[in-house]
Amino acid sequence: MQGTNEVLRVEPMMQHIVPIVLGPPGAGKGTQCKRLSEALQVPHISTGDLLREHIRKGTSLGAKVKRTIERGNLVPDSLIWEMLQERIGRSDCRQGFVLDGFPRTASQAERFDAYLAQHKSARHSLLPLVVRLAVDNSVLLRRLTGRRVCPKCASVFHIEFGAPQVPGHCDHDGAELFIRDDDREATIRERLRVYEREISPILQHYGNDGRILEIAGDRPVEQVTEEILEAMGHVAV
Ligand SMILES: [Zn+2]
């Protein structure tokens, strides 16, 4: 048979939103990233996890990262980007992904924009959207300073949310619980300041294009996820 009936198909332009989740320590960023990744059925890409994975597997990148850290230096943008680019270039990221811990600087955001522009086609594109989890510092302090850790089994308790049966002692082995240095008020206040300083260039970068979604993070986990998903559906792409 000659000449099959060619059906002219017009494929719709596929635009996938890439949530960039930002949140201060204690805001539940990791949890929301995981939940979004499950709901959207796209990978959750955490730069912290990627770094640890490369180090653990002993890749050449991991070795470079390890040397940098051992010298007491910060992992440079170029290394982070090299690692991230390799990851988001894999096929499972084609329909999007959830970004956790990236970008951290305006220069990282620019590299990411350039990458997305370069990989855009007439039929397919990925669009970044900052999801900013906003939680009052007083709430974060309450959440974080209440943590108590068991020195024996590493179980984590909270004096308000998830208190041990016997105050100050582990439910599993009775060991006396302690406060990690990271959970002390002065340390937390400093971490919150660092966070504010870190995100301000990112917010500036994406704010001009209106690509920031502010979500009140001081509510039940499920409700926060739902609101993010709903808002994502209403963002003009
Ligand atoms: Zn214990």
Q: pLDDT by residue (tens digit) across 36-95?
A: 999 999 999 999 999 999 999 999 999 999 999 899 888 898 999 999 999 999 999 999
Question: In the chain, which ranges are continuous DSSP H helix?
Answer: 29-40, 47-57, 60-70, 77-88, 106-118, 137-145, 185-207, 221-234
Active site residue 57: no
Predicted model pTM: 0.84
Look at the chain and count its residues: 237
Which entry of 64, 143, 147, 148 is annotated as an active-site residue? 147
Query: What is the Å distance from ligand 1's center to 157 Cα?
Result: 10
Active site residue 147: yes
pLDDT of residue 173: 97
Query: What is the Å distance from ligand 1's center to 162 Cα?
Result: 14
pLDDT band at 235 (very low <50, low <70, confident <90, very high): low
Closest CA to 99 of 227, 174, 202: 202
Q: Which domains does the chain have, with CATH numbers?
A: 14-136+200-234 (3.40.50.300)
Q: Is the pLDDT confidence value at 237 over 60?
A: no
Q: Is the pLDDT confidence value at 188 over 60?
A: yes
SS3 assignment, position 14: strand
pLDDT of residue 74: 86
Question: Rounded mean pLDDT of the chain?
Answer: 91
Strand partners, 46: 100
Q: Is the pLDDT confidence value at 4 over 60?
A: no
Rg of the chain, C-alpha, whole Å: 21
Q: Which two tokens stand for residue 86?
A: 């390799």
Q: Please give the biggest Cα pair distance in the chain.
A: 83
- pLDDT digit string, tens, across residues 96-149: 999 999 999 899 999 999 999 999 988 889 999 999 999 999 999 999 999 999
